[in-house]
């Protein structure tokens, strides 16, 4: 009998969901392709447009489906409710919600693909319609294109201009509602996707933030895109008296013989709004809730400047409740009236304030550094501190730390911030009710490139280390700090002070290690110490490290459900 561990079950479940999503896309594409490629009511439409009719309409159906889904993964309040407040969600279901941004990106790429196919097909359609309208030789295409010239007749060819030059195509593209909205939608999508690359997002977050809000124009154009009803079909009443299979051969006699009256056409009613109106309303309520919460007064009680251009904001807000590892969005009107940036909470739920640690890595964080007075030596009065708006908190994978008896926490650089909240909360729970605390062992790994990055977090580790020794349980927390970058001078300095009681960098009893962890050895050691256990592995760090740890969790988990299982969790926000 073959057993699947929890991680494999999760991967299988995620794979199944992706297969379902992909199958729906394939079904919609194939179904609507057949409708437009074989439907009798589209015989005359296919005469004008050829195979590009079906190639344009099939991806349009997939676009409707994916545009319905694209907003749901970014309804953060809904996801936080399902993740933390709703009793109907198990841990396994909540872990699916942690992949919300991954699914958001997957759907976005699907939208880009179907938009490309849809746009290219319609470009060929416009060219064929303009050519048919300007063709001098009398054919079935010209007969169909001339319909509508006489008042009272319905038309099939929406290109009414007889200009054969490229200007004719541009005229059609920029004077019809479908063409104009199509251009707007496409431009918005191009800007949104190109500005979402990792390079732009990290180096020019403001560009990413502003262009991402073009989704408002994208959805507005999407809803009214089909109002023009440019894709037309023969009406059912006309089909009953005008058989296109027979009358197509007698197009010169339309209206002159009783068996072949002039065909009548109508446009397809717009359908996109039916797909997206629900998620759009849900997202509007989401933004209203976020706006209401962001208007509540926030007081900065303390600003602490840490080394290596890192500063801490301690704040209070009436009714603010948090869980470990959650994050908030922060806006400072003195810096920007529009920009909101996410930060992980570094305080514990048991504390009477909430805090964030910010590292200066861009224009916005540097400007906030200045308006908070962190660049000044003198003491800053509280009334001089800037106003802050806070939206959140929102749930993350770290909330599940207390669901395991053994956890592995891995932070890279500033990615250690969610674990500051975790370690503080663990200490409060340990001091107040150690017997009822399910969590029994923490393995903590912190990877940094330079020595300065250790300083602000080392004080917290030192405090926890001292307090655990006073409680006669120093083995509760095992931590390993890795310095991944150093020069020859630093190496010589470290070697000289290696035998000292405390580490020369952090001041902790646990000595700093150099290089990167051998994860295979680390996981095997943990597995040998905790057989028949479910070990939660939590990461806040880069994707490359996430891939490595995910593979380690799978390869070191046993097939037998009674054996060791490593459950991988990654922060996404």
pLDDT in tens, 329-380: 888 888 888 788 888 888 888 888 888 888 887 788 888 888 887 777 666 6
Express each pLDDT in 60-96 by its tens digit: 999 999 999 999 888 887 777 776 654 445 555 556 6
pLDDT digits (tens, 9 = 90+) for 529-567: 888 888 888 887 777 888 888 888 888 887 777 778 888
Residue 104 · residue 283 · CB < 8 Å: no
pLDDT band, very low/low/confident/very high, at 210 (cuts 50, 70, 90): confident
The pLDDT-based confidence of 497 (bands split at 50, 70, 90) is very low
Whether the predicted model's global pTM rises above the 0.85 cut: no
On the 0-12 / 13-18 / 19+ scale of CB atoms within 10 A, 493 is: middle
User: Does residue 491 surpass a pLDDT of 80?
Assistant: no
Q: Is the dihedral of CA 519, 525, 526, 532 positive or negative?
A: positive
The answer to whether the CB of 356 falls within 8 A of the CB of 312 is yes
pLDDT score of 90: 53
| pLDDT on residue 144 | 82
The DSSP call for residue 345 is: B
Mean pLDDT of 20-45: 92
Q: Among 316, 395, 310, 388, which Cα is nearest to 351's?
A: 316
pLDDT at position 2, please?
38
Q: Read off the DSSP letter of residue 337.
A: S
Question: With b meaning 16 or more CB within 10 Å and e meaning fewer, what string describes 242-268?
Answer: bebeebbeebeebeeeeebebbbbebe
On whether the CB atoms of residues 539 and 408 are closer than 8 A, the answer is: no
Please provide the average confidence, as pLDDT, over all residues in the chain: 79
Model confidence band, residue 172 (pLDDT cutoffs 50, 70, 90): low
Count of C-beta atoms within a 10 Å radius of residue 206: 15
> Residue 253 has what pLDDT?
82
- Quick check: 245 pLDDT over 50? yes
Instruction: List phi, psi (to 5°) of 377.
Output: -85, -30
Distance of CA 186 to the CA centre of its chain: 20
159: closest CA among 136, 117, 127? 127
Burial of 197 (0-12, 13-18, 19+ CB in 10 A): exposed
Q: Distance between CA 373 and CA 332 in Å, rounded?
A: 14
Structural contact between residues 532 and 563, judged by C-beta atoms closer than 8 angstroms: yes
Q: How many CA atoms lie within 13 A of 398 on its CB side?
A: 32
Return the pLDDT at 187: 93
Q: With contact defined as beta carbons under 8 Å apart, do 535 and 568 qualify?
A: no
DSSP string, 215-261: HHHHHHHHHHTTTT--SEEE-HHHHHH--HHHHGGGGGGTTTSTTSP
Report the C-alpha gap between 308 and 452 in whole angstroms: 6
The model's confidence at residue 519, banded by pLDDT at 50, 70 and 90, is: confident
> Would you state the pLDDT for residue 23?
93
High-pLDDT (> 70) share of the chain, %:
80
Beta carbons of 411 and 419 less than 8 angstroms apart: yes
Instruction: Evaluate if residue 3 carries a pLDDT over 50.
Output: no
Q: For the chain, how long is the longest CA-to-CA vector?
A: 107
Question: For residue 33, is pLDDT > 50?
Answer: yes
Token look-up 């680390």 returns 522
pLDDT the model gives residue 85: 53
> Which residue in this structure is represented by tokens 């489906």?
65
pLDDT for 102 beyond 90: no
Of the spans 164-168, 216-220, 247-251, 370-374, which averages the highest pLDDT? 216-220
Asked if residue 535 lies in contact with residue 566, where contact means CB atoms within 8 angstroms, the answer is yes
Instruction: Set out the domains of the chain in order of their start, with CATH numbers.
Output: 22-176+228-290 (no CATH), 297-373+385-394 (2.40.30.10), 404-423+437-451+471-487+501-572 (3.40.50.80)
């Amino acid at each position: 009998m073959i057993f699947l561990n929890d991680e494999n079950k999760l991967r299988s479940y995620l794979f199944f969901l992706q297969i379902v999503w992909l199958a729906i896309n394939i079904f919609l594409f194939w179904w609507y392709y057949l409708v437009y490629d074989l439907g009798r009511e589209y015989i005359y439409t296919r005469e004008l447009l050829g195979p590009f009719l079906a190639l344009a309409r099939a991806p349009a159906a997939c676009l409707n489906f994916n545009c319905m889904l694209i907003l749901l993964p970014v309804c953060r309040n809904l996801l936080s409710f399902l993740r933390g407040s709703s009793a109907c969600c198990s841990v396994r279901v909540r872990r699916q919600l942690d992949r919300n941004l991954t699914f958001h990106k997957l759907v976005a790429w699907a939208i880009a693909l179907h938009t490309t196919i849809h746009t290219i097909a319609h470009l060929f359609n416009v060219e064929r319609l303009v050519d048919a309208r300007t063709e001098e030789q009398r054919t079935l295409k010209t007969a169909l294109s001339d319909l509508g010239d006489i008042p009272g007749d319905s038309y099939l060819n929406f290109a009414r201009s007889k200009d054969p030059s490229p200007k004719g195509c541009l005229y059609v593209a920029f004077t019809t509602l479908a063409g104009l909205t199509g251009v707007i939608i496409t431009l918005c999508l191009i800007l949104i996707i190109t500005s979402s690359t990792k390079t732009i997002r990290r180096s020019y977050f403001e560009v990413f933030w502003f262009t991402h809000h073009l989704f408002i124009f994208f959805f507005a154009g999407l809803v009214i895109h089909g109002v023009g009803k440019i894709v037309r079909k023969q009406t059912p009443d006309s089909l009953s008296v005008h058989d296109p299979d027979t009358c197509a051969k007698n197009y010169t006699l339309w209206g002159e013989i009783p068996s072949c009256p002039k065909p009548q056409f109508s446009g397809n009613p717009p359908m996109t709004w039916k797909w997206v109106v629900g998620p759009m309303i849900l997202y509007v309520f989401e933004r209203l809730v976020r706006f209401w919460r962001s208007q509540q007064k926030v007081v900065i009680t303390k600003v602490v400047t840490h080394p290596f251009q890192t500063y801490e904001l301690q704040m209070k807000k009436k009714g603010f409740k948090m869980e470990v590892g959650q994050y908030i969005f922060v806006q400072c009107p003195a810096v920007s009236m529009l920009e909101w940036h996410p930060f992980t909470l570094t305080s514990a739920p048991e504390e009477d304030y909430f805090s964030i640690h910010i590292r200066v890595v861009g224009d916005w964080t540097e400007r906030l550094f200045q308006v908070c007075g962190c660049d000044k030596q003198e003491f800053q009065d509280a009334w001089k501190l800037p106003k802050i708006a806070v939206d959140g908190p929102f749930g993350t994978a770290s909330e599940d730390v207390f669901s395991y008896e053994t956890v592995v926490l891995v932070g890279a650089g500033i990615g250690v911030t969610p674990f500051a909240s975790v370690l503080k909360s663990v200490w409060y729970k340990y001091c107040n009710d150690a017997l009822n605390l399910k969590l029994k062992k923490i393995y903590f790994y912190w990877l940094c490139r330079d020595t300065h990055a250790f300083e602000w977090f080392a004080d917290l580790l030192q405090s926890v280390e001292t307090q655990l020794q006073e409680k006669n349980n120093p083995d509760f927390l095992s931590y390993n700090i890795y310095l991944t970058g150093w020069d020859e001078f630093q190496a010589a300095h470290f070697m000289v002070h290696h035998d000292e009681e405390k580490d020369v960098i952090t001041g902790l009893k646990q000595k700093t290690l150099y290089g990167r962890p051998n994860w295979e050895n680390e996981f095997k050691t943990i597995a040998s110490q905790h057989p028949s256990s479910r070990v939660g592995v939590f990461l806040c760090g880069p994707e490359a490290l996430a891939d490595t740890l995910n593979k380690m969790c799978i390869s070191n988990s046993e097939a037998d459900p009674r054996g060791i299982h490593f459950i991988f969790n990654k922060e996404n926000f």
